[in-house]
Structure 1
Amino acid sequence: MTTLSHTETRPVALPPAVPTDYVFGLSDTDDILGGEDVHAVVTLKVAMTRDMLAAAFDLAMRGAYDENIDELPVDEIRHRVELSLHMESPWDLLRDGRTFDELLEDESIVDLVRAEYRAIDRAYPHMAPKGNH
């Protein structure tokens, strides 16, 4: 039997993983596990681009447009990104992230998108761009 490995064979410089206290199923206000015994807590690490993070944050912000994004605490921004990762496939976020910055061309939402990028840069400052978005 051959075991497939997804381990990178060449050295890759990655930023350190961001710690989290969020546990899907137990951190939710409605406790979706319904009191069932938890058999394991599985940790998933996902390498994400800035645009993927912004796309994930944008998805989690749907319906919360009355909030001032620039005033959200870092923990809340990270929580919302993680919530999107629980709801969306990393592959979908990769796809959405590849075109997310194109939303900066839409004058009707450019301020919102810039605020989302600023939030991502605060929550995940590793290599945050020095540019205007």
Structure 2
Amino acid sequence: MAKYFAKKKKGSIAIWQIFEIILFVALVYTFITLWPVFLQKQNVDYIAKTMVRAVETNGRIDSSITDLQHELENDFGVELDDVRWTTQYVPGTNKIQIKSKFELTVTDHATIRIMNPTFGDPLDINVPMSKTLVGVSQVFWK
């Protein structure tokens, strides 16, 4: 009788080990699938911080900031959905007076492909991401 229970116990341990392996593989697959989304969010945040810092030191929002944005997008392989600046300009210019605050909101999305069936459209989940930063101009305009 003891041999019967010992055999049954060994079999159940093997089943639990198979279950644990399947669970581990599922967790690794989930991590690999979600890793690019976290990297993209980090890249969007870095682009926003760099652009805010450039405007703080430049004191204006002009084509050099737009060029910087496109350069960073190309470097990181990101295509931002929307970039919005909110500020009070010096009247008649694109200049921001010293100690004047401005706000940058950058929005993007990441796509997670859940399933790619051969008979139809793939099943995707779009994850929206945005970053809002506030900066202060460091340039005095006369």
TM range (shorter): under 0.3
Normalised by the length of structure 1, the TM-score is 0.27
Larger Rg: 2
- Higher relative contact order at CA 8 Å, sep ≥6: structure 1 or structure 2? 1
Which structure shows the bigger proportion of residues in strand conformation? Answer: 2
Question: What TM-score do the two structures reach when normalised by structure 2?
Answer: 0.26
